[in-house]
Chains A and B, each alone.
Chain A
Amino acid sequence: MQALVEARGLRKSYGTVEAVRGIDVTVRQGEAFGFLGPNGAGKSSTMRMIAAVSTASSGSLRVLGLDPATDGPEIRSRIGVCPQENTLDSELTVRENLLVYGRFFGLARPEVAKRADELLAFVQLTDKSAARVEELSGGLKRRLTVARSLINNPELLMLDEPTTGLDPQARHLLWDRLFRLKQGGTTLLLTTHYMDEAEQLCDRLMVIDEGVIVAEGSPVELIRDHSSREVCELRFGVDDDHEQLAHRLEELGERVEALPDRVLVYARDGEQVVRGVHELGLQPRSTLVRRSTLEDVFLRLTGRSLAD
């Protein structure tokens, strides 16, 4: 399979701050690839380099087989970009935003008009065509931004934090649309700091922290390789010393994490941990046994939580 993105030793510095510190990444045709990491991990900087907008400080990068440093306009004409913040023209209507944007790609007016109407239908905004952008809710703006990023029928669609700030309903609708695009063969490259989003959409993930790759694989592989099958979450009273409790719980699981509000015990069998806790004579306020998620993987790999 052809690689749409191929980066080796990619770095980006802003003054003395190194945002991206040597990233290797290969995105293949037809897959959904995600960068997972907390805010400030270097995801957006990496995306901007791949989108041929900012130039890499060092390392090699090929996008669609082309060099972003010299073939920027050509690359950008074949990819779609849905930025983290909406960049819609608030003075124009919903449909006008698509029409003028399509023209930036050199598409003929009738072609853009046809495509705009198809995309408005795709993101379920047809009845808002004539509305001014400033009248739209956050979720509708997001859908319009996604529609706009598809105006040139891109070979690679890049989405930076596509559902950040959306309510659950709007998120699910957007996920559904992105899933349909993926089924239709569009290659997706997205960043997220939501593990449920990563699990829902991505075939392959790269966990980034402080500008470097800390793990790579499918969501299932990452969980299998970096966490236990189950997790037992224990909540104690606010005055209890979590560090001390964690120490006492160590023998019950493969690993114990003390968080400010709860203690996590990683084990193959979570129920067995619960029994063990009671045998030790401890009385947590609540217990929850659940499957490991990417959040646990991230906690394990970086010692920090993903949450914003």
Chain B
Amino acid sequence: MALTHPPPARNGLVWRQLDHWRARWRRTWRGSAITNFVLPVLYLLAMGVGLGSYVDDGGATASLGGADYLDFIAPGLLATAAMQNAVGASTWPVMGAIRWDKTYYAMIATPLRVRDILIGNLGLVTARLTLTAAVFWLVLALFGIVVLPWAVLAVPAAVLVGLAHATPCFAYAAWLDRETGFMLLYRVGVVPMFLFSGAFFPVSQLPDALEWLARLMPLYHGVELVRGLVLGTPELLGDLGHVGYLGVWCVGGFVLADRMLARRLEG
């Protein structure tokens, strides 16, 4: 039996993974969609409504830029959720595909190249980020928080926030030898960033040195970008700066991830 071997098209290889990622997606999307609906609702109720009533009664509205606390933290939560989803999707699964299931080694034995595998994987992460951001956005709409039409852009903005964290985490996961390194990532990176990147209170409340550190974090720029879009107060110049900074993390992370993965798979 003669099989036809299509010539490896230069850009066509990434799409050959579509069935692979679709098969994996089918196993997980429901669970993640439900989690990603329930979690924001709980967060918004507990922190936005519950804690928020104390904050608002305390007269903090001015330092929050005129927003009440629920409105202030809701977009911040959308951005931090994108970050957390991205980190989750590009740490353990990547190590699994390298060290446990070794599925990347199976893929590299086919016409696929390292970069095809990386792009395909980031495509799946993007799909997940889009789904979770869209669900979160719907929750915000249910709470009456979003102001149209800018607010729609908060979804692609959240995806960008996620990718800015996904590519460096992918590089880190491909470089790591043991999964204990992820604990360090969470302790030193994810958790402090989650708490101090302006999602729950303005970074201007931090001591000067910490404020500058917070401003270097990609999540800070993600929070600011998404907040402006959700609350209908975008500033073109500032937002372009945020987008650019997040883009630098995306691209830098991608280049590193490409190199680390090649070192693993082609060594």
Which residues 65-120 of A sit at the B interface, judged by CB distance below 8 A?
Answer: 72-74, 76-78, 81, 83, 85-92, 96, 99-101, 103-107, 109, 111, 115
Q: Name the residue on A nearest B12 (C-beta).
A: A106
Cβ-based interface call for A41 (8 A): no
Cβ-based interface call for B1 (8 A): yes
Name the segment of A49-57, A173-181, A241-249, A258-266 touching the other chain. A49-57
Q: Interface residues of A, CB < 8 Å — how many? A: 36
Q: List, in ascending order, chain A residues with CB within 8 A of B106's CB.
A: 83, 87-89, 101, 148
Cβ-based interface call for B17 (8 A): yes
* A77 & B5 in contact (Cβ 8 Å cutoff): yes
* B103 & A104 in contact (Cβ 8 Å cutoff): no
Of A51, A54, A78, A81, the residue contacting B5 (CB under 8 A) is A78
Q: List, in ascending order, chain B residues with CB within 8 A of A54's CB.
A: 266-267
* B3 & A99 in contact (Cβ 8 Å cutoff): no
Cβ-based interface call for B19 (8 A): yes
Contact with A along B1-31 (1 / 0, CB 8 A): 1111111110011001111100110010000
* B110 & A90 in contact (Cβ 8 Å cutoff): no
With A96-B23, A103-B16, A103-B18 as contacts: A88 and B101 at CB distance below 8 Å: yes
Cβ-based interface call for B105 (8 A): yes
* A104 & B8 in contact (Cβ 8 Å cutoff): no
Which residues 106-123 of B sit at the A interface, judged by CB distance below 8 A?
Answer: 106-113
With A72-B113, A77-B8, A153-B3 as contacts: A87 and B266 at CB distance below 8 Å: no
* B3 & A104 in contact (Cβ 8 Å cutoff): no
Residues of B contacting A: mostly: loop
* A53 & B108 in contact (Cβ 8 Å cutoff): yes
* A83 & B110 in contact (Cβ 8 Å cutoff): no
* A100 & B19 in contact (Cβ 8 Å cutoff): yes
* A55 & B16 in contact (Cβ 8 Å cutoff): no
* B23 & A153 in contact (Cβ 8 Å cutoff): no
* A74 & B267 in contact (Cβ 8 Å cutoff): no
* B266 & A104 in contact (Cβ 8 Å cutoff): no
A73 to B24, CA, bound (A): 24
With A54-B267, A77-B8, A153-B1 as contacts: A104 and B105 at CB distance below 8 Å: no
Shortest CB distance A80–B (Å): 9
B2, B7, B20, most chain A CB atoms within 10 A: B20
Shortest CB distance B24–A (Å): 6
Q: List, in ascending order, chain B residues with CB within 8 A of A107's CB.
A: 3-4, 6
With A53-B108, A74-B111, A87-B103 as contacts: A152 and B3 at CB distance below 8 Å: yes
* A106 & B5 in contact (Cβ 8 Å cutoff): yes
With A54-B266, A73-B13, A87-B103 as contacts: A104 and B111 at CB distance below 8 Å: yes
Q: List, in ascending order, chain B residues with CB within 8 A of A101's CB.
A: 106, 110
Some 25 contacts from A to B, beta carbons below 8 A apart, are A53-B109, A53-B266, A73-B112, A77-B8, A77-B110, A78-B5, A83-B102, A83-B109, A87-B101, A87-B106, A88-B106, A89-B20, A90-B101, A91-B27, A92-B23, A100-B20, A103-B18, A105-B5, A105-B16, A105-B110, A106-B5, A109-B19, A152-B110, A153-B1, A153-B3
B residues sitting closer than 8 Å to A (CB atoms) are 1-9, 12-13, 16-20, 23-24, 27, 101-103, 105-113, 265-267
